[in-house]
Amino acid sequence: MTTPKPRVALFVTCLVDFFRPTVGFSAVKLLEDAGCEVSVPAGQTCCGQPAYNSGDRAGARALAEQVIALFEGFDQVVVPSGSCAGMIKTHYPDLFSGEPNWRLRAEALADKTHELTSFLVDVLGVAPLPVTFEGTATYHDSCSGLRELGVKDQPRRLLSAVDGLTIKEMHDPEACCGFGGAFCVKYDEISNAIVDRKVADVRTTGAELLLAGDLGCLLNIAGKLKREGSSVEVRHVAEVLAGMTNGPAIGETRK
Amino acid sequence: MSGGLTSLSFPKNAHAALANPPLLKAIAHIEETLVSGRRRAAEALPEFEALRDAGRDIKAHTLAHLDLYLEAFERKVVEAGGFVHWAADAADANRIILDICQKAGARRVTKGKSMITEEVGLNAYLQANGIAPVETDLGEYIIQLRGETPSHIIAPAVHVNKEQVAADFRRVHTDLDPKRNLDEPTSLLAEARGVLRERFLSADVGITGANFLVAETGSTVIVTNEGNGDLTQILPKTHIVLASIEKVVPTLEDVATIMRLLARSATGQEMSVYTTFSTGPRRAGDPDGPEAFHVVLLDNGRSAMLGSEFEDMLRCIRCGACINHCPVYRSVGGHAYGSVYPGPMGSVLTPSLQGLEKSAHLANASTLCGRCESVCPMRIPLPKMLRHWREKEFERHLTPKKARFGLAAWRFLAARPRLYGLATRLGAWGLARLAGRDGALRQVPLAGGWTRWRDLPAPEGGTFRTEWAKRGRK
């Protein structure tokens, strides 16, 4: 007996869409390799987190409605970001308190929405196809993925199966990188002090590659490393897992 | 409050802090002392997480019946021969305390470490009325000499280094040998002890805060590491406890439960060195203790938090764990916040106590990383409440115009997928072109806050949605 392929929608996130399509394609590859039928609903834009974290509840709610309507028909929704997945999973239902119908729809979507590595490990439980990546990497735990969704071991478990890759942990991989959405430009000087500590921690590991599951953190850390002239490369964990590392790393010179 | 509220100039304060290397060096120690201390203590106690649930539940239950427990507490204090005074706000509390001091004919009062007296600005008020308050906690004593406010709720002088303390002691303790050695923390401690001992013996009134008020016994409880609280409350003839209303818990058993969390979360100690219960004045047959015992119960905005989205904040036991683990506090220290209470707990509490208009930056000066909530012994959802303050700012149009405009533009686009697609396609193409082969931009128009400190990685080129469509995929 064959079970039908799960119909999975990819919520690609606004940052991946704009800055790093490779992450989206890596996620699609990982999901298809794992036996999913993947769709990317065309009307998607943003999960509404910028509005939500700026106190604009009505704005966040309007975008949440858009996302719910677009994604609720799928079996599962997968997001290559702990932060956006966390928004849908832990905050959407809260946006509709006092509106039972919408709340039910928000909760239903929350239940089937997953951060990418957590979906691969916790839901599908299948090992990705074997890939090789020669080198030493360190892994940054993005705040929302870690503390809202419990994403910690899943990416490490997947990375441990990558041939040739060694993981060297930072002293404090769970420390915030200082991105914080609008925080990084609103309080840029403090954000810089925080990412400074993160980058120092990355350096002490001696790793040549920094990985994480959230593009916001990755852009911030990569931007700081480049500014300091560091040779440490920065990539989304999905790129390594999918073996899509031929193109330049984040912020890296194109060949 | 003492020192004045400067939260409105938070960015300026933060800028000054970031340009102050000794300060940055001093706060960097929090990692190897308080943060690792808490981690070790939490890991060593198998039931730590269960205790956090129990602590949260005790506080939540008490807050749901706060009136009953406060009245029960009052009855027990009176039964034990003490007095209870109800203070609606800071001015009330100060007046009540001054009145007690004046009736006792006091000229000098000693004080145990108490954030609540900072909140009401008691020292300045007493001084203005001819009464000299002397701080007896070493850290508080140091910042009193320096004319500063605490920069941390449990380590008030965490921003000061030992050389600065030595200089302050030489400046103020002019009657001592100028050639004495003040190079080591131990010699500094010995000097402070010597000076304070005389102050303890000559004080007319002792004022302390309280970590707990116990409804079943009418006891007040303080924890200290220096024993200064005991000398403050036992030696003078009058002991005044100033405590805010949410400090009450039902039973001694509850104190025991929460106390197992308090020191572990604060410093990593299993218990503080001294834990002192006071119940009423000295009884016949007691070897020591005050002749008069007063408890001043302060509201100062707290009862208005009950039943609001900020009620959970009243579970706070002032351990400081959220502060120690906050990446923003760890970057700029406590004074930058310009409020009595710094860090995440302060950013939630200050707008409640002082008004949102006077504390605009505080709720925004957070990455919402959530580490504060993950270490809070009372499981207070601090990020959620910071976000509530941001919502209130937005509702009241206190959010800066520029941010509001940017958000509205973003919202307009994000709600129109086709237009959004066009705008992002153009934007990604433009930035990628601007970067050329570099892959990262050193300067981007309108993104100065980003590029002042870091490069902006360039987009790869086409957006994911266009590349996906090109492949004929849905």
Q: Average pLDDT for residues A95-120, to the nearest whole number?
A: 97
- Chain B positions touching A192 (Cβ under 8 A) are 452-454
Look over chain B and give the mean of its residue pLDDT values, rounded to a whole number. 95
Residue-wise pLDDT for B9-60, tens only, equals: 999 999 999 999 999 999 999 999 999 999 999 999 999 999 999 999 999 9
Domain spanning B7-303: CATH 3.40.50.10420: yes
Contact B170, B23 (CB under 8 A): no
Q: How far apart are CA B339 and CA B341, in angstroms?
A: 5
| HSE-up of residue A36 (Cα within 13 Å, Cβ side) | 27
Q: Are residues A27 and A101 in the same domain?
A: yes
CATH number of the CATH domain containing A223: 3.40.50.11810
User: Which chain B residues are within 8 Å of A147, Cβ to Cβ?
Assistant: 369-371, 373-374
Q: What is the pLDDT of residues B302-354, one digit of tens each?
A: 999 999 999 999 999 999 999 999 999 999 999 999 999 999 999 999 999 88
- pLDDT tens for B63-120 read 999 999 999 999 999 999 999 999 999 999 999 999 999 999 999 999 999 999 999 9
Identify all chain A residues contacting B15, using CB atoms and an 8 Å cutoff: 189
Beta-carbon neighbour count of residue B241 at 10 Å? 27
- Does A90 share its domain with A167? no
Number of folded domains in chain A?
2
Confidence at residue A118, expressed as pLDDT on a 0 to 100 scale: 98
pLDDT score of A2? 64
When pLDDT is averaged across residues A141-157 and rounded to a whole number, the result is 98
C-alpha–C-alpha distance, residues B183 and B190, integer Å: 12
Same-domain status, A142 and A47: no
Percent of chain B clearing pLDDT 90 (strictly above):
92
d(CA B57, CA B50) in angstroms, rounded, equals: 11
Centre a 10 Å sphere on the Cβ of residue B105 and count the other Cβ atoms it contains: 10
The pLDDT tens digits for A150-180 are 999 999 999 999 999 999 999 999 999 999 9
Q: Is the pLDDT of residue B388 over 60?
A: yes
Under an 8 A CB cutoff, do B399 and A55 touch?
yes
Domain ranges of chain B: 7-303, 406-470
Q: How confident is the model at residue B6 (pLDDT cuts 50, 70, 90)?
A: confident
CB contact under 8 A, A147 and B395: no
Residue A253 lies in a domain: no
Q: Are residues A237 and A169 in the same domain?
A: yes
Given the DSSP bridges, would you call strands B219-224 and B132-135 parallel, antiparallel or unpaired? unpaired
Kindly report, residue by residue over B177-210, the tens digit of the pLDDT: 999 999 999 999 999 999 999 999 999 999 999 9
Q: Are residues A23 and A50 in the same domain?
A: yes
| Residue B4 reports pLDDT greater than 80 | no
Contacting residues for B426 by C-beta, under 8 A, at least 6 apart: none
CB < 8 Å to B473, chain A: 40
State whether A58 and A149 are in the same domain. no
**Paired tokens of B197:** 């001992």
Question: Which chain A residues in 101-140 lie under 8 Å from chain B, judged by CB atoms?
Answer: none
CA distances B96 to B42, B178, B248, Å, are 41, 41, 20
> Cβ of A21 and B463 within 8 Å?
yes
Is residue A134, in this structure, part of any structural domain at all?
A: yes
Q: Are residues A103 and A141 in the same domain?
A: no
Q: What is the pLDDT of residue A1?
A: 52
* DSSP output for B116-171: HHHHHTHHHHHHHTT-EEEE-SHHHHHHHHHT---SSSS-TTTT--HHHHHHHHHH
Same domain, A135 and A108: no
Structural domain boundaries, residue A215: 128-241
User: Does residue B3 surpass a pLDDT of 50?
Assistant: no
Residues near B137 by beta carbon (within 8 Å), at least 6 away in sequence:
B112, B113, B156, B224, B226, B228, B229
Does residue A217 share a domain with residue A186? Answer: yes
**Pick from B365, B413, B465: which is nearest to A17 by CB?**
B465
Same domain, A145 and A230: yes
Best of B385, B453, B471 to disrupt the A interface (most A CBs within 10 Å) is B453
In chain B, the residue whose alpha carbon lies closest to the alpha carbon of A178 is B367
Query: How far, in Å, CA of B299 to CA of B93, rounded?
Result: 9
From the candidates B464, B467, B468, which should be mutated to test the interface with A, based on the most A CB atoms within 10 A? B464
- What tokens were used for A51? 């509005």
Range 44-73 of A in CB contact (< 8 A) with B: 44-46, 48, 50-57, 59, 62-63, 66
One domain for residues A207 and A235: yes
B401: number of Cβ within 10 Å: 8
pLDDT of residue B72: 98
Backbone angles phi, psi at B158, to 5 degrees: -60, -20
Distance from the Cα of A23 to chain B's closest Cα (Å) equals 9
The contacts of residue A161 (CB under 8 Å, 6+ apart) are A127, A128, A130
SS3 B454: coil
User: In the prediction, which pLDDT does B52 show?
Assistant: 98
- Domain boundary, last residue among A71, A96, A122: A122
Query: pTM of the prediction?
Result: 0.96
Are A132 and A233 members of one domain?
A: yes
